[in-house]
A and B are shown apart, each in its own frame.
Chain A
Amino acid sequence: MTTLTMGLLVLGALLGLLATGMPIAFALGFVSIGALVLTDGFGALDIVGETFFGGLDSFALVSIPMFILMGSAVASSPAGKDLYIALDRWLNRVPGGLVLSNIGACSIFAALSGSSPATCAAIGKMGIPEMVDRGYPKSIAAGSIAAGGTLGILIPPSVTMIVYGIATETSIGRLFIAGLLPGLLLTVLFMIWTLISCRLAGYSFEQMAQRFTFKERFQALPRVLPFLLIIAGILYVLYGGVATPSEAAGAGALFCIVLVIVIYRIFRPGPLIEVFRSSLRESVMIMMIIGASELFAFTLSSMFITQSIAGWIGDLDVNRWVLMALINVFLLFAGFFLPPVAVILMTAPILLPIITQAGFDPYWFAVILTINMEIGLITPPVGLNLYVINGIAPDIPLQTILRGSLPYVLCMVVGIVILCIFPEIVTWLPTALMGPGG
């Protein structure tokens, strides 16, 4: 049996198990031990524990629960609402000010959280009902938040960038900063599409515009300011030479928890426990996938499947942009079904050597990969953000959410094309801040 046939068998077994709905982490683990036993005998089971533990034994991974905690703490407070209300008061003269405020709030909140569902939930909880109240079409209200929420993993900090950095041994600090301008680019693209789609839906902004005095505008600021300060603080800690990303994550989490307690006077243990419960839930899910992926990667490599696939792609001998297009299609397809962390862990180590061989920048590719994963978050059949929206706005049917968010997929594809034409949007800021290479 050739290695590629074995690879197909392993992949088939994995897809079959995933189809039963079993947790991704355990499906990866089960396929791994099955393949190991079949190829190396039962002796191979000796190393399961050590390999799983080794996959988690990294200081860089510590930042994952920390950045999740940070976002979860802020999401538990009315900060998300305050954020977009403040933006709305300042943007209300602009046509479509409220949706713009919501997308803008998503983008700002993304800088406070490493994960996309948290971003989605934090802004959407208040933002969607408000938009619906003011007469915006439900599909646009839900879709814009679902898409805006995906910015959580592109605008730093980002859980998926951390995983990419560990899997490919690239600098997490540099990856973070590489995602910033592309994140803003997507924010702008999302805003543009939202305005267009509102017009297409025949929605008249002018009638709905509320007027706010400057007094009201400034009144909205004090509660938002601390969070902007935290973002500035984290950026300073990361790029001003104070601490490494993991350390910044810990400090950020502590600050956010303290701030939420102080500003919103949440002294009762209930909400705080809920913050920790939801963070534990998300980080355990991610960390278990990381440990199991370590086992899966070991299995594929030991059977020489990884190397054969990489060799096979390397031998394709196609134009580098055709290669990039093929990789994008593949990532898009993987993202339809699997959550970002799983896709990155399974593909980045194989793809990165091919990518760099073809002359692409690994940090640029990280951004392209991340945008593909963002698309996965709002596409069926498995789109985490769609379900989050469904959870916080149960009266909007899934189909309506879907109809609203699919156009944003096109925005992201446009974003990818723009970044392919102007890779400097990714590489300029890291180079300016941190020097070349690295």
Chain B
Amino acid sequence: ADKTLKASHQWPGGKGDVRDEMVQIIAREIGNAGVGLEVQVYPGASLFKPRDQWGALSKGQLDIAAFPLDYASGRVPQFSATLMPGLVRNHDRAKRMNDSDFMADIKALIEENDVVVVSDAWLAGAFASKQNCITDPESIKGQVTRAAGPAFEQMLADAGASIASMPSSEIYSAMQTGVLDATNTSSGSFVSYRLYEQVKCLTAPGANALWFMYEPILMSKKTWDGLTKEQQDAVMAAGQKAEDYFFEEAKKIDQKMIDTFKENGVEVVEMSGDDYNAWLEVAKKSSYANFEKDVPGGKELIEKALAVE
């Protein structure tokens, strides 16, 4: 009989979400490979809560997950480098990053925690505000902002924003009531939470994006070790297919966000090279500095990431 693997992620299933599609591709490809493996997909956090997936993967309670790696940064502090402001900049550089020393270090840490990377994926994100266009650090001063992840919070606080934390499902109503002035999150979430109904200006990821998050497809090492060589090859081949698909789609997600916001009369801008560098200066003395101070090997990681062409 076929062995059934459990694959989990937090996005809606069957609604065209790119990360769901990646997992579905892997499930399909592995199933079609005829190596005695079947994959059961649990979308929409229907099995594990998003953050609980990491522990389950390490322990072998979960086989496959599409997982924003920063969620595990409480356990492996180096992982916050994968949601560090300004470290990636754009999609083409993200692709070059995958084969860098920086990612080699990150992947080694992933394996040390009994997890294996099946596909790489970097998601871009945007800024938006009800008041003005967020371009340089000066432009966010005094605005109540929700940020995804502590590294962003530190940088934004240093730029003079006031940080509010809330689940992403509350962003819309918090903006509506005025609790929140600005937010940054992934391009996909900007569309799915209909934030175009609330904001005045969107700062889209273009050549100079601050927000990138590493959201790879992972497999439990325990599961991996239990597979035959043939099965492992099938998994990796499926992973490559999903990764190729993702790179094709990644820029389309951003474009869909831009189109949707423009259709709804929202002004759409991008950061200039100067804006980007100004933010990088803020990040260097806030989030990067804290990361280098608190995380073993943090300094080297940042250097290796910045060294990527």
> Which residues in A have some Cβ–Cβ distance to B below 8 Å?
40, 43-44, 46-47, 50-51, 54, 58-60, 165, 169-174, 238-244, 298, 301-302, 304, 306-307, 349, 434-438
Contact = CB atoms under 8 A, between A and B. Distances in A.
B46 A244 contact: no
Interface stretch (B161-169, B242-250, B254-262): B161-169
Given A173-B177, A238-B177, A306-B46, A244 B61 contact: no
Contacts of A438: 172-173, 176, 194
Interface string B46-78: 111101100110011100000000000000000
28 contacts: A43-B60, A44-B61, A46-B59, A47-B52, A47-B56, A47-B59, A50-B52, A51-B52, A54-B51, A59-B166, A60-B170, A169-B167, A170-B169, A171-B169, A173-B177, A239-B177, A240-B178, A241-B178, A242-B177, A298-B48, A302-B6, A304-B40, A349-B46, A434-B176, A435-B197, A435-B198, A437-B194, A438-B194
B170 A172 contact: yes
A176 to B, nearest CB: 10
Interface string B26-58: 000000000000001010001111011001100
Given A301-B47, A435-B197, A438-B173, A58 B61 contact: no
B173 A240 contact: no
B179 interface: yes
Contact of A244 (B47, B55, B60, B174): B174
Interface string B148-192: 000000000000000011110110111011110000000000000
B101 to A, nearest CB: 33
Nearest to B56: A47
A436 B60 CA distance: 43
A293 B237 CA distance: 38
Contacts, number: 80
Given A171-B173, A438-B194, A241 B179 contact: yes
Given A243-B179, A301-B42, A435-B197, A171 B172 contact: yes
Contacts of A171: 169-170, 172-173
Nearest to B144: A241
Interface residues of B, number: 30
A243 B178 CA distance: 9
Contacts of A302: 6, 47
A241 B175 CA distance: 8
A298 B42 CA distance: 11
B172 A54 contact: no
A436 B56 CA distance: 38
A391 B172 CA distance: 43
Contacts of A170: 169
A243 B166 CA distance: 11
B84 to A, nearest CB: 24
Contact of B177 (A241, A307, A436): A241
A69 B181 CA distance: 31
Contacts of B177: 173, 238-242, 434
Interface of B: 6, 40, 42, 46-49, 51-52, 55-56, 59-61, 164-167, 169-170, 172-174, 176-179, 194, 197-198
A437 B46 contact: no
Contacts of B173: 171, 173-174, 434, 438
Given A171-B173, A301-B42, 20 more contacts: A40-B61, A44-B61, A47-B55, A47-B61, A50-B55, A59-B166, A60-B167, A60-B170, A169-B169, A239-B177, A241-B178, A242-B177, A244-B164, A298-B47, A301-B46, A301-B47, A302-B47, A307-B42, A307-B46, A438-B172
A51 B55 CA distance: 10
Contacts of A44: 61
Contacts of B174: 173, 244
A438 B172 CA distance: 6
A54 B49 contact: yes
A51 B47 CA distance: 10
Nearest to A175: B173
Contacts of A435: 176, 197-198
Nearest to A51: B52
Nearest to B6: A302
B103 to A, nearest CB: 28
A242 B170 CA distance: 14
A240 B174 CA distance: 10
B260 to A, nearest CB: 13
Contacts of B170: 60, 171-173, 244
Contacts of A54: 49, 51-52
A436 B197 contact: yes
Contacts of A301: 42, 46-47
Contacts of A298: 47-48
Contacts of A58: 167
Most central of A44, A46, A50, A243 by chain B CB within 10 Å: A50
Pairs of residues from A and B, 7 with the lowest C-beta to C-beta distance, nearest first: A241-B178, A241-B177, A171-B173, A173-B173, A438-B172, A169-B169, A434-B176
Contacts of B178: 240-241
Contacts of A173: 170, 173-174, 177
Contacts of A304: 40
A73 B234 CA distance: 62
Contacts of A165: 169
Contacts of A60: 167, 170
Contacts of B169: 165, 169-171
A83 B4 CA distance: 62
Contacts of B40: 304
Nearest to A242: B179
Most central of A54, A171, A174, A243 by chain B CB within 10 Å: A171
